[in-house]
Structure 1
């Protein structure tokens, strides 16, 4: 019966060692201050055009916006331009 408290202590020690290992890994992770992260975001957004921010980059010209859902694919345009197309009704 004296063996049970010893096993409980071993389990507690194992859990503490696992937590200690996780905390060491967390401590070893590369860190960045919030101000440096903000500067990095500002630098990226000022060097890469993003039409979601028209105040900075303006509005895209026709056919320039890759996110325009109204653009037809090149296949659809080639089908419209073709005189060999048939309509089945």
Structure 2
């Protein structure tokens, strides 16, 4: 009889622990949802307008339709390639790119 009482108490304790873990999980999820709800949101159309405004107000020559092409001699990346070619050792291979892969 005392053994069955002990088993029932263990089962009750186990049930209480399971309920506590479920409650903790629900509270964690609730907190995540609250933080998600508090985040600032904008519509897709406003995000697109923001991107359009940024690209029209900041010079970016990767958009030649908007800003045109760079004038000859203004590309500092091309100047770096020219300097590297001028300073290269004669035994090094010729590379037309701007980067070196090691």
Structure with greater proportional helix content: 2
Regions of 4+ moved over 6 Å: none
Kindly state the Cα deviation for residue 72 of structure 1 after the two structures are TM-superposed.
3.1
Partner of 1:87: none
Kindly state the Cα deviation for residue 6 of structure 1 after the two structures are TM-superposed.
0.5
Partner of 2:53: 43
RMSD of aligned residue pairs (Cα, Å): 2.5
Alignment of 1:6-45 (within 5 A): 6-45=16-55
Partner of 1:85: none
Q: Does 1:72 align with 2:47?
A: no
Measured against aligned partners, the alpha-carbon deviations of 1:23-70 in whole angstroms (never above 9, x if no partner) come to 00000000011010000000010111111111111100123234x2x3
Pair member with larger Rg: 2
Structure 1 unpaired stretches of 5+: 81-89
Q: SS of the counterpart of 2:69?
A: coil
What is the alpha-carbon distance in structure 1 between the residues aligned to residue 18 and residue 45 of structure 2?
46
Give the paired residue count: 78
Higher relative contact order (CA 8 A, sep 6+): 2
